[in-house]
Amino acid sequence: MKYSRLTKEQFEELHQEFINFLATQTITAQEWKSIKTNTPEVAEQELDVFSDLVWEGVLKNVTYLEHISAQQMHLFNLNENDMHVIAIKLKQDINLTTKEGFNWLRENLLDDDVEFLQAKKEYSKDKNLDKFKLIQQGAVITKGDLFIYFDKLVG
């Protein structure tokens, strides 16, 4: 398995897609029940393959990721050939994950306690796996509003 298995909730959300996936392998509902009962290891493999297919589809289309922690914000623009990251670090004990902390940042962008860094990094051989690792580390997929805002500010 290349990525991680979808959660029970994600499988429930993608129930119809999973049925279609089984149908492409000519596995009927009755056969699926039999596989789950008689050869659970085969059922596990099918769940893993489906999970990887879903992740591949999602990761292929991801353009922006954000990872916000108490003192830092990492905003990623995932281009075709590389990732561009804008990092914002606070030197004060202000928590960016709270509304108050985020508002403080908005009002004090030019404060000496706010540090901006930028970098570009080329992908490894597997671009989607690079994206997935960022998500595993806590990044979330976004529309990129924060990245675009800060890119104009620091660019």
List the chain pLDDT tens, one digit each, 155 residues.
999 999 999 999 999 999 999 999 899 999 999 999 999 999 999 999 999 999 999 999 999 999 999 999 999 999 999 999 999 999 989 999 999 999 999 999 888 999 999 999 999 999 999 999 999 999 999 999 999 999 998 87
Q: Which pLDDT score is estimated for 53? A: 95
Boundaries of every domain in the chain: 8-61, 64-154
- What does the buried/exposed string (b/e) look like for 83-110 if buried means 16 or more CB atoms within 10 Å of the residue's CB? bbbbbbebeeebebeeeebbebbeeeee
Spatial distance between the Cα atoms of 140 and 66, rounded to a whole number of angstroms: 5
Q: Which pLDDT score is estimated for 104? A: 93
Q: Which pLDDT score is estimated for 92? A: 87
Q: Which pLDDT score is estimated for 10? A: 94
Spatial distance between the Cα atoms of 44 and 50, rounded to a whole number of angstroms: 10
